[in-house]
Amino acid sequence: MNDLSDFPITRRWPAHYPDRIQLYSLPTPNGVKASIMLEETGLPYEPHLVDFAKDDQKSVEFVSLNPNGKIPAMIDPDGPGGKPLALFESGAILLYLAEKTGRFIPADPAGRWEAIQWVMFQMGGVGPMFGQVGFFNKFAGKDWDDKRPLGRYVDEAKRLLGVMDGVLDGRDWFLGDAYTIADISMLGWVRNLIGFYEAGELVGFDGYANVAAWLERGLARPAVQRGLTIPARPA
């Protein structure tokens, strides 16, 4: 039996299956990167809901695993050398799971780095910029009299979508024929931009036909459909 008692987070979220990867998350654009990847790889895992409404992410137990207080985070009881590994940051989790399974990342070094560069593109650009569009379009920011912040982030979101659209011209996925962690990293963010954030018209999403077709392909994958709902949100 794997002993995870050294991890304080398990006191708040007990591991019923301690031999499985323990995922602490919520189905946000960052959270679903981990759940989609776990569903795609078929690795056994146990999801735990981190409820933002209860400030779970600020709890002592959660911060003991991720001092940055953000989801997702995870524990792999069978980490390197057979020892438990705690990990946070969605991009790092994607890379770790890809290397652990040898899936959704090219084996050749050139292809591997091509995939990694697009994950970095998502982490440094797509996530922060699309998130700001969501804040200023849908949440508290929409009430600000000064519309320059919204305009700035909308313009940058359009620029990023243009980059993505150009790369996807004639390609099914960001690396061509191969679906990889590059795609997994971005699916939730693009979906949220035009769905939950209600910013499709604002950014002129209909003008990015290659991105739209890529999103449709990605969302049609059964593992993606499952991962988008894990962990289940509170009723």
Look up the CATH architecture of domain 109-221: Up-down Bundle (1.20)
Segment 115-141, tens digit of pLDDT? 999 999 999 999 999 999 999 999 887
Q: Do domains 9-103 and 109-221 have the same CATH topology?
A: no
Question: For the domain bounded by 9-103, which CATH number is listed?
Answer: 3.40.30.10
Q: Calculate what percentage of the chain has a pLDDT beyond 90.
A: 93
pLDDT band at 3 (very low <50, low <70, confident <90, very high): confident
pLDDT of residue 189 exceeding 80, the answer is yes
Residues 24-49 have a mean pLDDT of 98
* Strands across the sheet containing 21-25: 45-49, 21-25, 73-76, 85-88
Segment 137-169, tens digit of pLDDT? 998 877 888 889 899 999 999 999 999 999 999
Q: How many CB atoms lie within 10 A of CB 156?
A: 18
Question: What does residue 47 show for φ and ψ, rounded to 5 degrees?
Answer: -85, 145
Please report which residue ranges of 66-208 form alpha helices under DSSP H: 90-101, 109-121, 127-138, 148-167, 181-194
Structure tokens at 133: 């569009």
Question: What pLDDT is stored for residue 158 in this prediction?
Answer: 98
- Interatomic CA distance for residues 128 and 122, integer angstroms: 8
pLDDT band at 1 (very low <50, low <70, confident <90, very high): very low
Domain limits, the chain: 9-103, 109-221
